[in-house]
Chain A
C-alpha cells in the first residue's frame, strides 16, 4: 500500500516515541512524595544487561527502569509480546522464564539476567507451528489478536503444568489472560485440542 518506505512498524515506532514524550511531560505535574522530593538531580545512567531470549544471548545497555517487556519490544524488536496494561492485569505480555509463565511487564529487565526467556517468536520450530498455535488457528480462537501471543504462551504453560484437564480447570488457570473480544470459548477449546495433541 505504502511501499517499503513506511512499514507499519516504523509508523508505530514514531507514534510510540511521541506518546512517551507526552506521558513524561504530564508526570511532572503529579503530586510529589517526600522520597522523590529528596532526589537531587539526574537520571542514573544505563546498566549492562545480558538477556537469554529464545536461545540467543543479547548484550544490552538499559535504563534500570526498563521492564523485560520493553527490552523485548523496544530493544530486541520482538514485538510479539504485547503491552496491554503494563501492570500485570491483562496477560498480553506473558512469556516463559525458565519454562514458567510470567508477565514480562512485571519484571525489570536487569533482574531477568541468568534466566532463559521464551517469547511467542521462539515457540515455532522453523515453519512448524507449536500445536497450540495450530489449534488457535483451527479453533478461530482470536478476533483482534492483541491478547493472542499472551494467551498462547500462557496456554502452553497451562498444558505443561497439567492444568488443562477440563474446561473449568482451564478457565481458572487461564484467569491471568484477558480477552476483550471475548473469544474465551474458542481459546478453551484450542487449549483442550492442543493438550490432546501434546499428550499423544
Chain B
C-alpha cells in the first residue's frame, strides 16, 4: 500500500469540501466508505491516492419504502438491504441480486454507494505487474485485448478497454429504472443508474459521471408491478462468492399468460450495467413459449463483439435471458 493521508471529516459538508473524486483511477483524493473494494485496490497498489476521505458515519443508511417507492441511503449495507422485509416483498429482484453477490462478511460491510462504484475485476487492472492497462495508466494499452479475456465484456467495449462491470446490484437497479441522488458541495442532482457509468471509449480511467467532490447520497427505485414475476439469474464459475460470467435481471408484468411489460438488464457482459430495451420490446405480448422467447433474447447480441476466450458469452447471455424469463414467469 502506498502512503496516504486519512481524512476523517466530522460531517458531509466537511467531506465534500475536500473534493475527492470517486470513480477515476488517477484521482489524487479518493473516498472510502465500507472499504471492501477500496482496501483491496490500495493493497494491490492499483489505486494510489495521496488522500483518502472517509465517509464512515456521515452518509445516511436509511431504507424507506412508501408510495414513492424505495429509497436507500448510500451507506446502507448490502446485508441490511437484502434482509429488509419490504425490499424482499416489493423489490425481490434487488434482494436476490444482493444475496448473489460477494460473501456474508463483505455484505455486512459493503455499502450501496460503494457497490455502484466498485472497480472492475479485470486481472490486468488489479495486478500492477502488468504495465498495459488504459484504465489504470491512461495510454498504456490493454493487456486483456489479446490476453486471458474469458471474464471480459462483449458489449460497450472500445479499442482501449474491454473490462466488464462487476456489480450485480447495478444490473437489478438498471432494470428497475433506479435513480441516484448525487450530493455535491453546491447542491444535489439526480442521475438515472443507467446513465451513471460511462462507456470506456478512449478514457476508460473515467468510470462515472461524478464530478470532483460529489458523492452518491441515496438511490431511489420507483414503485413497480414486477414483485411477483422477477428473477436475478447469475451464471458463474462456482456456486457462491463469485462474480458473474453472465447475469440477467428479469422483471415481468404478466396478464394471464401474456407478458404485458418486461424489463431486462444484463451483467458480466457489458462495460457497464447493460439494459436491453430491444429485448424488452420484443418480449411484450409474448407467452412463455421458449420458441418465441429465443428470437426476442437474440436481440441482446446486437453489436456484441467477443475477443476470443469470451466469445461464449454472446450465446450464453441469450440463453440466460430465456431461462430468467421462464423462471420469472413461473414456468421453469
Contact = CB atoms under 8 A, between A and B. Distances in A.
Q: How large is the interface on A (under 10, 10 to 19, 20 to 34, 35 or more residues)?
A: 35 or more
B35 A35 contact: no
Contacts of B140: 31
B203 interface: no
Interface string A53-83: 0000000000111010000000000000000
B144 to A, nearest CB: 16
Contact of A158 (B47, B104, B240): B104
Contacts of B104: 101, 154, 157-158, 161, 163, 173-176
A33 B137 contact: yes
A171 B241 CA distance: 11
A31 B1 contact: no
Given A65-B42, A107-B35, A175 B5 contact: no
A172 interface: yes
A197 interface: no
Nearest to A34: B26
Contact of A33 (B3, B8, B25, B56): B25
Interface in B82-117: 102-106, 108-109
A30 B39 contact: no
Contacts of A30: 45, 128-129
Given A35-B26, A36-B48, A100 B3 contact: no
A191 interface: no
B4 A44 contact: yes
Interface of chain B: mostly helix, strand, loop or mixed: loop
A102 B108 CA distance: 7
Interface string A14-40: 000000000000010011011110110
B195 interface: no
B39 A35 contact: no
B49 interface: yes
Contact of B105 (A38, A87, A114, A176): A176
A176 B27 contact: no
Contact of A87 (B5, B44, B45, B131): B44
A11 interface: no
Given A30-B128, A35-B27, A102-B108, A111 B54 contact: yes
A107 B109 contact: yes
Interface in B1-46: 1-6, 8, 25-28, 32, 35-36, 39-40, 42-45
Contacts of A163: 104
A36 B48 CA distance: 6
B136 interface: yes
Contacts of A108: 6, 32, 35, 39
Interface string A98-119: 0011110111101100100000
A107 B48 contact: no
Interface in B123-172: 128-129, 131, 136-138, 140
Given A87-B43, A102-B105, A176 B241 contact: yes
Interface string B46-61: 0111101010110000
Q: How large is the interface on B (under 10, 10 to 19, 20 to 34, 35 or more residues)?
A: 35 or more
A39 B52 CA distance: 14
Contacts of B54: 110-111
A101 B26 contact: no
B40 A106 contact: yes
A66 B48 CA distance: 15
Contacts of A27: 45
Given A43-B3, A106-B109, A111-B54, A38 B28 contact: yes
A101 B6 contact: no
Nearest to B137: A33
Nearest to B110: A106
B40 A101 contact: no
Interface string A147-166: 00000001001100101000
A123 to B, nearest CB: 16
A94 interface: yes
B48 A33 contact: yes
Contacts of A105: 39, 43
A105 B105 CA distance: 11
Given A44-B3, A106-B36, A107-B35, A35 B48 contact: yes
A172 B103 CA distance: 9
A154 B107 CA distance: 13
Contact of B39 (A47, A97, A107, A154): A107
Contacts of B4: 44, 64-65
A88 interface: yes
When A and B form their complex, which 7 residue pairs have the shortest distance between CB atoms, in order from nearest? A176-B103, A175-B240, A64-B6, A36-B48, A175-B241, A43-B3, A100-B108
Given A33-B47, A91-B105, A108-B39, 7 more contacts: A30-B45, A30-B129, A33-B25, A33-B137, A64-B52, A87-B43, A97-B109
24 contacts: A33-B26, A33-B47, A34-B137, A35-B25, A35-B27, A43-B3, A44-B4, A47-B6, A64-B6, A65-B3, A65-B4, A65-B42, A67-B39, A88-B40, A97-B108, A97-B109, A103-B109, A106-B36, A108-B32, A111-B54, A158-B104, A161-B104, A174-B104, A175-B239
